[in-house]
Amino acid sequence: MTETYLNTQSSLSMKGSGYYSAKTAGAKNAIDKTQKVIENALKNIPSNAILKFADFGSADGGTSQEMWSNIIKIIRDKGDNRQIEILYTDLASNDFSTLFKTMQGMHGNSNFAFQKNFKNVFVHGCGTGFHEQLMSDDSLTLGFSATAMHYVSERPCLIENHVHMTGANESEKNLFTDQANKDWETILLNRSKELIKGGRFVCINFGIDEQGRCLGNTGGHIMFNNFSKNWKYLEEQGIISNQEYINATFTQHYRTVEEFRAPFDNKDSAISKSGLILKSCETMITECPYKIHYSNNKDTMSPRDYAKTLIPTMRSWSETVFRNALVNRTERKINEIVDKFYNLYIDEVSNDPEGHSMDYVHVIMDIEKAY
């Protein structure tokens, strides 16, 4: 087996032209549900001349747009007319074009185009991953990240008999855990450098909750097991090679609550010594909106209709993994194989939709730079 240490910064991207936000209603719902956490964090923010916010791992900006618009409105309704800067960060391959159009009301819902609707609001973009320091020291008022920091900075190994660390063997899983722990410390230390004293970082991250549940695994069929099964089927049919099957290893790690808390609970850790404290930590499940819609409309919506709404939301963030796994293929052949892969999932859900959904499982943290 050929080993590859895949660098996330150079290899990961999502489909453009607003595809991500259009197909991920669940991600937006999760962000909207946590707006109160951000509102509460802002109550204790120091009074600086300029409010500097950042959205780390923002994708095309659509899923958090309404939340940021609401936050800015709250600030302005209080008579606070300070200048506001918002930095959107993601990989260099990100769909920044759609992001900038969205904030100016040229794409999506213009009611929340805060750059157009409010004065003294300035939007910037940064095409560097959140594992790096992205702002100058002591400049960030409020940082935010949603459904992003489960990506590790590099893939520590290839998983031989699955596509995701949730289905890896013990030694493979340990390698991913070690990488994720190192990355979490790096992420936090860089946010600590950026934050002003009294500044906050609100992180809504995919994780494993107290009952062992995670994205697409809250009862019923397990999404990543289905990915693995259908990708293996293509190998068994001679459509892809064994190496291409193995290549489809997600550069992700779902941390447990204990793993998220560990550097804060240890008062001698580099994180604690940097001045960061964990104000709150809780888990949250956001039900799959496509499953809810189907359950409420079974009299007019067929199982196949449901499948054709559910699978695209999975495809919006996972497709790059499977495309990158294919070796020495023409673009046409890659499209053919990837379409066949997702159509297998559509057929499976169409034949028996019960137990198929993609509930979101998040760990929500409010972190303060106390000193």
Measured CA distances, 24 to 191, 224, 256, 316, 320 (Å): 27, 17, 23, 8, 16
So what's the pLDDT on residue 1? 41
Average pLDDT, the chain: 93
Q: What are phi and psi of 358, to 5 degrees?
A: -140, 75
Judged by average pLDDT, the poorest of 12-21, 31-40, 152-161 is: 12-21
pLDDT given for residue 11 in this prediction? 43
For the residues of 299-361, what is the DSSP string, one character each? TT--HHHHHHHHHHHHHHHHHHHHHHH--S--HHHHHHHHHHHHHHHHHHHHH--TT----EE
Q: Decide if 361 contacts 206 (C-beta within 8 A).
A: yes
Instruction: Delimit the domains of the chain by residue range.
Output: 8-218+250-287+358-369
Looking at residue 14, what is its pLDDT?
A: 52
For strands 360-369 and 255-256, give the pairing: unpaired
pLDDT of residue 23: 64
Q: Rounded to whole angstroms, how far apart are CA atoms 43 and 273?
A: 25
For residue range 159-168, list pLDDT tens digits in order: 999 999 999 9
Dist CA 6 CA 4 (whole Å): 6
Q: Are the CB atoms for 149 and 205 separated by under 8 Å? A: yes
- With cut-offs at 50, 70 and 90, classify the pLDDT of residue 75: very high
CB distance 100 to 125 below 8 Å: yes
The pLDDT score that the predictor gives to residue 320 is: 95
Q: Considering only CA atoms, which of 253, 254, 246, 255 is closest in space to residue 321?
A: 246
Could you read off the pLDDT of 149-159 as tens digits, one per residue? 999 999 999 99
Lowest mean pLDDT segment, chosen from 16-25, 75-84, 155-164, 264-273 = 16-25
What whole-number distance in Å separates Cα of residue 27 and Cα of residue 38?
16
What band does 197 get if pLDDT is binned at 50, 70 and 90? very high
Give yes or no for residue 108 having a pLDDT over 90. Answer: no
| Residue 49: per-residue pLDDT | 83
Q: Which of 107-121, 235-249, 272-286, 328-342 has the lowest mean pLDDT?
A: 107-121
The fraction of the chain above a pLDDT of 90, given in percent, is 87
How confident is the model over 201-227, as a mean pLDDT? Answer: 97
Quick one: average pLDDT of 59-83?
A: 94
Query: What pLDDT score was predicted for residue 22?
Result: 55
Percentage of residues in the chain having pLDDT higher than 70: 94
Q: What is the mean pLDDT of residues 250-273?
A: 98
- Chain-centroid distance of CA 78 in Å reads 31
> Residue range 251-274: average pLDDT?
98
- The mean pLDDT of 188-203, rounded to a whole number, is 97
pLDDT of residue 4: 43
Residues 294-336 pLDDT 10s: 999 999 999 999 999 999 999 999 999 999 999 999 999 999 9
pLDDT digits (tens, 9 = 90+) for 231-261: 999 999 999 999 999 999 999 999 999 999 9
Please check the confidence at residue 216 and state whether its pLDDT lies above 80: yes
> What's residue 44's pLDDT?
84
The pLDDT assigned to 6 comes to 47
Highest CATH level, class, for 8-218+250-287+358-369? alpha beta
Exposure string over 242-257, b if 16+ CB within 10 A, otherwise e: eebbbbbbbbbbbbbb
Which residue bears the tokens 């499982």? 361
Phi, psi for 309 (deg, rounded to 5): -100, -35
